[in-house]
Chains A and B, each alone.
Chain A
Amino acid sequence: MIFELFAKRLFPQAFNNDLSELEPKHIFLRKSVNHLGFKFGLTMLLIIIFLGIFGPHIIGISPYEQDLTKRLLPPIWVEGGNWEHIFGTDGNGRDYLARILYGTRISLTIGFGAAFVGMIIGISLGILAGYFGGWVDQLVNYLLTCQLALPGLLLAMTVVFLIGPSITVVILVIGVLHWTLFLVVSRSATQRIRNLDYVLAANAIGASKYQIIFSDIIPNILNQIIVIFTLEVGIAILSEASLSFLGVGIQPPTPSWGLLIAEGREALFFQPWLIILPGIALFLLVVSINMLGDGLRDITDPNSKIEIKSKVEVPISNLKQNINSKK
């Protein structure tokens, strides 16, 4: 597959048949090559990001340009479609392909932005609670219970609508409402790491709390955080789409996918592609992100059962020799 070709070209040393000399990043690569979901998710996400960045330039049609003489043209595979507008046009005669491609940017910006905001809040609280314990931990736990009980979507709708919808507001509100997973993971990881020997040693040689947190704890919870981050990007993208669909998120004429689906609702039975196309785009983006996240979790989990297969049999005597020489 293409993925393997790229991986082998970029990191030839990772595909050494001598397994005993693999560095951690090479082990990661070797495992990822054997994980179908990871490969699929990453490839598809990269394609979608590429389309989001360069797509609007490639087709060269503005997503905002209206042409009322060309309203509701069907896409190319429906009778009456033409190559000028491959996905047809919407109710205002705007090119649908351009709008969907442009919508990729909105979804990606909000997804990554909101997950980032949530990550900052969640990790800060999680490390505080995990490292200091005691009443700090109990306070954070209480905050967590409160946050979990809040009806996220309803509150997001209310706040976004009352403050006045814009991309920044949507990112902040979704981010502020989605930090619980980060908190739970970083807290338990910090609790576990805090009592490990090397942290105690760092403490003993006089490292300050901040040094320990930033140079000993954060690098070690990063793996799990990246997994959560990926999954949260998917959740944030879906939240934004829901908000925009209900009319309390991104406002027209900005082509957010949720908004496109809401606009297509008027022509539900006559022009179903107006709903189906942006929905598929949304689905593919979130599926690829989720598969990437699940894959990352499997690969970075030290207990994972993914085996590194070496294509050429390495003589066992060779391996033994290597181990002996290392001793």
Chain B
Amino acid sequence: MLRFIAGRLIVVIAVAITLSFITFFLLNYAIDPAQAVAGEEALFEEIEQVRIQYGFDRPILERYFEWASGVMRGNFGESYYWNKSVYLLVLERAPETITLALMSVSVTIIIAIPLGIVAALNPNTIIDRFALGIAVAAQAVPNFWLGLLMIILFALTFPIFPVSGDKTYFHFVLPSIVLGASSVPPVMRLMRTGLLDVVDSDYIRTARSNGFYGWNLTINHSMRNAVLPVVSVLAVQLGHKFGGSVITESVFAINGLGRLALESILGTDIPTVQILVFIFAFMFLIFNLFADILNAYLDPRLRK
């Protein structure tokens, strides 16, 4: 088990380094960073002055190593656009995004798992069709559009939840529903097929012949095996939520990392964008690692 975790950890670190490398090069070659700092209308002399002042004239590898060693020590650089340390910016905005991510995964669990169970218990009936229909619809609906529809609906017709801002937890209800809806189809389908696969297995037949039936059978016997892949997919989805927060946060005016990312891109603030891409990728890797370890812990066959 320890060897398995160590192996995975090495891959995660290697991927994280590769990704930081790729994003750094991409963002420093796609545009001229000096131009970005000086602004669109800057004169040639001004741009050159900025280039020397900020050290953009140095070799890119040297700058990468300086940046990377800074990141490891918690120094994310200075934001040109916000005139602030990127570290403080991220620290300020992170709680909103973490709340949003956790709440939206809870929404996914609340909707997708019961739906999957009910669909699997009544295969090929109208209930099953209904659940699959919801999955098809949730897969095709554009996130931002669902958010705007919710705003129209809840601002005018049912003013229960606030539709904009991030002051209280109530403000996060609608955004979480919108962000959580996009994960419903994979989780629901997996729950359904997982249960259907298990239902045919020998040990369920044995349990049935021993007199277990109904919810007792489902919860205590079938679910134990069927829920494994669902848990790991949920962890992966949680990793996705950080990157997915960009749209939802900008629709519902939540001051989180996603909105910070959008604003930084529009203000060509390279240091902030760079660190956010890295943080989102790192979050995904961490949750993936967690899912792998969990799976290996629960299913010894996977530890090789």
Chain A interface residues toward B at CB < 8 A: 142, 145-146, 148-155, 157-159, 161-163, 234, 238, 241-242, 245-248, 258, 261, 265, 268-269, 272, 275-276, 279, 282-283, 286-287, 290-291, 294
Contact = CB atoms under 8 A, between A and B. Distances in A.
Nearest to A272: B152
Contact of A275 (B27, B148, B247, B285): B148
B247 A242 contact: yes
Contacts of A234: 139-140
Interface string B15-40: 10011001100110011000000000
Contacts, number: 122
Given A142-B15, A275-B152, 12 more contacts: A146-B19, A150-B281, A151-B242, A151-B243, A154-B243, A157-B261, A268-B151, A269-B155, A279-B149, A283-B137, A286-B142, A290-B139
B11 interface: yes
A302 B266 CA distance: 49
A248 B19 contact: no
Given A154-B261, A157-B246, A149 B136 contact: no
29 contacts: A142-B18, A146-B15, A146-B22, A148-B284, A150-B281, A151-B277, A151-B281, A153-B243, A154-B243, A155-B23, A157-B265, A158-B265, A158-B273, A161-B265, A161-B268, A162-B30, A162-B31, A241-B144, A242-B143, A247-B266, A248-B265, A258-B142, A275-B148, A279-B142, A279-B145, A283-B137, A283-B140, A283-B142, A286-B141
A158 B144 CA distance: 19
Classify the secondary structure of A's interface with B: helix
Contact of A282 (B145, B151, B266, B288): B145
B140 A287 contact: yes
Interface string B232-257: 00000000001110110010000000
B91 interface: no
B228 interface: no
A25 B243 CA distance: 42
Nearest to A245: B144
Interface in B251-278: 261-262, 265-266, 268, 273, 276-277
Contacts of A154: 243, 246, 261, 273, 276-277, 280
Contact of A283 (B141, B152, B156): B141
Interface of B: 11, 14-15, 18-19, 22-23, 26-27, 30-31, 136-137, 139-145, 148-149, 151-152, 155-156, 242-244, 246-247, 250, 261-262, 265-266, 268, 273, 276-277, 280-282, 284-285, 288
Contacts of B261: 154, 157
Contacts of A242: 142-144, 247
Contacts of B14: 142
Counting chain A CB atoms within 10 Å of each CB, the highest count among B31, B265, B288 belongs to B265
A283 B142 CA distance: 7
A237 to B, nearest CB: 9
Contacts of A241: 142, 144
Interface centre among B30, B140, B156, B242 (most CB of A within 10 A): B140
Given A149-B288, A153-B247, A291-B136, A261 B281 contact: no
Interface centre among B14, B148, B246, B268 (most CB of A within 10 A): B148
Nearest to B242: A151
Nearest to A264: B148
A161 B242 CA distance: 20
